Chain A
Amino acid sequence: MTFFLQLVVTGFALGMIYALIALGFVIILKCSEAFNIAQGHFVLIGGYLGYTFLVTFGLPIWGTLLMAILTAIIMGLLIERLILRPLVGQPVLAVIMVTIALATVLGGLATLIWGAEYKAYHGLLPTINLQIGSISVPSESLIGLIVSIVTVAILMLFLRYTKIGLAMRATAEDLQVVQSVGIKATTVYAVSWVIASIVGVIGGILLGGVSGANMELAEIGLKAFAVVLLGGVNSIGGAIVAGIILGMLENVAAGYLDPLLPGGGLAKVFPFIVMIIVLIFRPYGLFGLVRIERI
Chain B
Amino acid sequence: MLQVNNIEVVYMNVIQVLRGVSLDVSDGKIIALLGANGAGKTTTLKAVSGMLRTEEGEVTDGSIDFDGERIDRYGPEDIAAMGISQAMEGRRVLEHLSVEENLLVGAYCRKDRAEVKRDIERVFNWFPKIKQLRRQMSGYLSGGEQQMLVIGRALMARPRLMLLDEPSLGLAPLLVEEIYEIIARINSEQRMAILLVEQNVRAALGIADYGYVMENGRVVLDGPAEKLKDNEDVREFYLGLSAVGSKKSYREVKHYRRRKRWLA
**Which residues in A have some Cβ–Cβ distance to B below 8 Å?**
88-89, 163, 166-167, 169-170, 172-185, 289, 292, 294
Contacts and interface: CB of A to CB of B under 8 A. Distances in A.
B168 interface: no
Contacts of B86: 180
Contacts of A181: 80, 85, 105-106, 108-109, 153-154, 156-157
A175 B75 CA distance: 14
A176 B54 CA distance: 8
A74 B139 CA distance: 37
Interface in B103-127: 104-106, 108-109
B97 interface: yes
22 contacts: A88-B54, A169-B94, A170-B94, A170-B97, A170-B105, A174-B94, A175-B54, A176-B54, A177-B92, A179-B76, A180-B80, A181-B80, A181-B85, A181-B108, A181-B154, A181-B156, A182-B80, A182-B81, A182-B85, A182-B157, A292-B96, A294-B142
A148 to B, nearest CB: 26
A163 B108 contact: yes
Contacts of B157: 181-182
Given A89-B54, A166-B101, A294 B153 contact: no
B3 to A, nearest CB: 21
A174 B91 CA distance: 12
Q: Which 7 residue pairs spanning A and B have beta carbons closest together?
A: A182-B80, A292-B139, A173-B94, A182-B109, A179-B76, A170-B105, A180-B86
A145 to B, nearest CB: 30
A175 B97 CA distance: 14
B137 interface: yes
B95 A183 contact: no
Contacts of B193: none
Contacts of A185: 77
Interface in B46-95: 49, 51, 53-54, 56, 75-78, 80-81, 85-86, 88, 92, 94-95
A245 B77 CA distance: 42
A289 B139 CA distance: 12
B140 A294 contact: yes
Nearest to A184: B77
Given A176-B51, A294-B140, A183 B77 contact: yes
Contact of B54 (A167, A172, A179, A184): A179
